[in-house]
Amino acid sequence: MGCDPLYLDPRINGPLRMVLDQSELLAGLVDALGSPLNVVLPDQVAANVAAFRSVYARHRLRGTIYFANKASRSSALLRALAATEAGVDVASLNELRHALGSGFAPTRVLATGPKTEPFLWLAARSGASVHLDSLAELRGLIGIVEDFGLPPVRVVPRLCGFEHTGARVLTRPSRFGIEPAALGPVVDLLVARRDVVDCAGVGYHLDTSSLEEKAAALEACVVTLDDLRRGGLTPSTVDIGGGFGVTYLADVARWDRYTTALTEAVLGTRPPLTWQGHGYGLRAESGTIRGTLRLYPAARTDAAHTYLDRLLATPGPRLGRGLSTVLLENLVDLDIEPGRALLDQCGLTLARVAEVGYRAGQCLIRVEANRDDISFEAGGVLVDPLVLPRDPAREARPCQAYLVGNLSLEHDFLTHRLVALRHTPACGDLLAFVNTAGYFSDFSAGHALRQPVATTVAVAVSGAGTWRWCHDEQYWPTLGACP
């Protein structure tokens, strides 16, 4: 079979493409601040929030768009979001402190995830809302409110373990949420202690992108609201969490072509596409493919706000009506918690090329970064970096190579995939990994072998059309296009 390069070009829109055209600026930033370097675009977040809100308007719904703060450590992006209508979902004590210090009023903050007593105390003391994942968590919160004489806290029990009346579901069991069998005691305590906690609604957590499963869960939440109302509570919101996704690739057809070729390579009917036969979950047994492809669907046809739009148009399995209609008929608001989807096209990571060499006949490109600095591989996202040459006049010659990092570890591959590049890099050139702001730039970064972690800078274009930058912590919305 043919061995033509299998390009997986990144999807690049608007301001991010303009930033990539500033090769001299980017090279100067890496020279001054080191490699790797994260570059974020705070001005893009407002457009992403507006795209989600447009779906609400189309379906005539109300509710809060909470940013899942765990997706990024960037202060610039969080402060830019604070300047919009968005709320923020925080999953730790320090995330809560960061959000409050970045400009979010407590009424726009939702405390989620595993909770310590200090985390619950600050949430209750400040006036943030709290997702409840268990009866023990509810009891702990009630104790804190009573012990410190605090006002009632707005709470949202999070549910899991939904039944589906249609086809077999593929949702993996979740460690978060309250199963149906455990909900009764939680409801009884919410009713008994209405003086301490205010049940504003219910939510769910599902580890799936299946529209059918999410539709069943949303419909079940609306039914649960009716049960709570009959018990004397006044809930009015359903929080459907996140999982809206991002489209990372420019061409869906190229993704289909690559996954087909990967299957053929695992079977041995074409040359290998990965280092030492890495199959991304696939394996060959007696001429047959086994296993499950463990890759993110990087070329989704519906992602971010378009996924929400499609979900709201999906009929519920029991009532048979579109979910937005079900919400409107029952006077229910819709809250969501997108993470990466609100950071789509909001950043990139630059890595300087340290060496271009060969091992066992394979081209290896070593960069001044490692797999934890640019963690596409850990998230199952396959996408090509762009080569930013120091000498733009150098002839562009394509190559296929493996990208390796700066750790003294055999497994420090930025990706196990043979990457097709349209321009062979030289030492000192930059590789630009696009759309890393959500989860893939600083989520896993650490100081292994005392290697430096990336500095983060914010960039924006001024009214005069020139690009300006500042350190991430220096950015504030009042400064406009950075100081």
175-190 mean pLDDT: 91
The reported pLDDT for the residue numbered 361 is 85
455 beta partners: 37
Whether 443 contacts 405, CB under 8 Å: no
Rounded (10°) CA dihedral 392, 431, 300, 17: -40
The reported pLDDT for the residue numbered 365 is 97
> Which residue ranges does the chain devote to CATH 2.40.37.10?
14-41+345-478
Q: Which two tokens stand for residue 225?
A: 């609201």
Question: What CATH number labels 43-245+297-342?
Answer: 3.20.20.10
Give the percent of the chain with pLDDT over 70: 96
Q: Which two tokens stand for residue 137?
A: 């968590």
299-338 tens-digit pLDDT: 988 999 999 999 999 999 988 999 999 999 999 999 999 9
172-194 mean pLDDT: 89
* Average pLDDT value over all residues in the chain: 93
127-165 tens-digit pLDDT: 999 999 999 999 999 999 999 999 999 999 999 887 655
411-431 tens-digit pLDDT: 899 999 999 999 999 999 999
Q: Which two tokens stand for residue 415?
A: 């990706």
- The CATH homologous superfamily for domain 14-41+345-478 is Lyase, Ornithine Decarboxylase; Chain A, domain 1 (2.40.37.10)
Whether 469 contacts 51, CB under 8 Å: no
The reported pLDDT for the residue numbered 87 is 98
Residue in the block written with tokens 């271009």: 356
22-42 tens-digit pLDDT: 999 999 999 999 999 999 999
∠ Cα 458 50 200 (to 5°): 105
Give the percent of the chain with pLDDT over 90: 83
453-460 mean pLDDT: 94
> Which residue ranges does the chain devote to CATH 3.20.20.10?
43-245+297-342
Q: Which residues contact 46 (CB under 8 A, 6 or more apart)?
A: 80, 83, 84
User: Residue 177: which pLDDT band, with cuts at 50, 70 and 90?
Assistant: confident
Query: Which of the residue ranges 237-241, 380-384, 460-464 would you say has the lowest mean pLDDT?
Result: 460-464
Query: Helices 45-59 and 305-313, interaxial angle, to 10°?
Result: 10
Per-residue b/e over 323-356, b at no fewer than 16 CB within 10 Å? bbbbbbeeebbbbbbbbbbbbbbbbbbbbbbbeb
